[in-house]
Amino acid sequence: MVRYLLIRLLRAFITITLVVTFAFIVLRVSGDPAISIMGDNASPEAMAAFRKEWGLDQSIFIQYFNYVTAIFQGDFGHSMRGGGPALDLVVSRIPATVMLTLPALLLKVAIGVPAGIYAALHHDKSLDRTVMVTAVAGYTVPSFVLGLLLVQIFALWMPLLPTGGTGELSHLILPVLTLGIGGAAILARFVRSAMLEVLGQPYIRTANAKGIPWGAVVRAHALPNAAIPTVTIIGFMVGSLIAGSVVTESVFSWPGVGNLLVVSVTARDLSVVQCILLLVAATMVLSNMFVDILYGILDPRLSNANSEGR
Amino acid sequence: MVMREPWANNLHPDTVSPFTIPAAMPPGPLLAIQDLTVAFDGVSVLRGIDLSLDRGEALGIVGESGSGKSVTWLAALGLLPSFAAVSGRVTLEGKDLLNAPAADLDRVRGGRVAMIFQDPSSALNPVIRIGRQVGEVLARHQGVSGGDIRAEATRLFELVGLPDARRRFDAYPHELSGGQNQRVMIAMALAGKPDVLVADEPTTALDATIQAQILALLTTIRTETGMALVLISHDLGLVAESCERVVVMYAGRVVETAPAQEIFSNPRHPYTQGLLAALPPFEGPLRRLVPIDGQVPDPSRLPPGCPFAPRCTKREPLCETAVPPLVQAGFGRLSACVAQTPSYVRPEKDRVLA
The answer to whether the CB atoms of A211 and B192 lie below 8 A apart is: yes
The beta-carbon neighbor of B127 closest among A202, A212, A225 is A225
Yes or no, beta carbons of B172 and A301 under 8 Å apart: yes
Q: What is the pLDDT of residue A74?
A: 86
Collect all residues of chain B within an 8 Å Cβ-Cβ radius of residue A124: 83
Q: What is the rounded average pLDDT of the residues B198-217?
A: 88
Whether A196 has a pLDDT exceeding 90, the answer reads yes
Half-sphere exposure of A304 (CA within 13 A, CB side): 11
A197, A203, A204, best to mutate vs chain B, most B CBs in 10 Å: A203
pLDDT at B342: 53
Chain A CB contacts of B142 below 8 Å: none
| pLDDT tens digits for range A249-281 | 888 888 999 999 999 988 888 889 999 999 989
Write out pLDDT tens, residues B62-118: 988 888 999 999 999 999 988 899 999 999 998 999 999 999 999 999 999 999 998
B127 contacts on A by Cβ (under 8 Å):
224-225, 228, 298-301
Q: What integer pLDDT is reported at residue B17 of this predicted model?
A: 45
Question: 3-state class of B61 per DSSP?
Answer: strand
Residue pair A293/A232 in contact (Cβ under 8 Å)? The answer is no
Average pLDDT of chain A is: 87
Highest mean pLDDT among B75-89, B289-303, B318-332: B75-89
In total, the C-beta contacts within 8 angstroms joining chain A to chain B are: 83
B229, pLDDT greater than 90: yes
Distance separating alpha carbons of residues A229 and A226, to the nearest angstrom: 6
- Whether residues A210 and B102 touch (CB distance < 8 A) is answered with no
Q: Which residue has the higher pLDDT, B260 or B20?
A: B260
Q: Which CATH superfamily is B56-74+96-248 part of?
A: P-loop containing nucleotide triphosphate hydrolases (3.40.50.300)
What would the DSSP string read from start to end of B117-185? -S-HHHHS-TTS-HHHHHHHHHHHHH---THHHHHHHHHHHHHTT-TTHHHHTT--GGGS-HHHHHHHH
With CA atoms as reference, the chain B residue closest to A297 would be B127
Q: Which residue among A207, A214, A298 sits closest to B127, beta carbon to beta carbon?
A: A298
Residue A174's closest CA among A158, A161, A187, A188? A161
Mean pLDDT of A294-307: 73
Chain A contact set for B108 (CB, 8 A): 211
- For the segment A85-111, what is each residue's pLDDT rounded down to a tens digit? 999 999 999 999 999 999 999 999 999
Q: Spell out the residues 6+ positions from residue B312 whose beta carbon is closer than 8 angstroms to its own.
A: B270, B271, B306, B319
Q: Measured between alpha carbons, how far is residue A299 from residues A114, A198, A287, B27 in Å?
A: 22, 14, 18, 49
Residue A289 — very low, low, confident or very high, per pLDDT cuts 50/70/90? confident
Q: What is the pLDDT of residues B162-191, one digit of tens each?
A: 988 889 999 999 999 999 999 999 999 999
pLDDT at A195: 96
Residue of chain A minimizing CA distance to B75 = A209
Predicted local confidence at residue A257, as pLDDT: 92
Say yes or no to pLDDT of A115 above 50: yes
**What would the pLDDT profile of A197-244 be if each residue is shown by its tens digit?**
999 999 999 999 999 999 999 999 999 999 988 998 898 888 888 877
Nearest CA in chain B to A226: B127
Class of the domain covering A90-300: mainly alpha
Helix (H) or strand (E) holding B230: strand B228-233
The structural domains of chain A, with segments of one domain joined by +, span 2-72, 90-300
Q: Structure pTM?
A: 0.81
The mean pLDDT value of chain B amounts to 85
Chain A interface, best mutation among B125, B144, B193, by max A CB count within 10 A: B125
Q: Would you put residue B254 in left (φ > 0), alpha (ψ -120 to 50) or beta?
A: beta
pLDDT at A53: 83
Which of B107, B115, B122 comes nearest A209 by C-beta?
B115
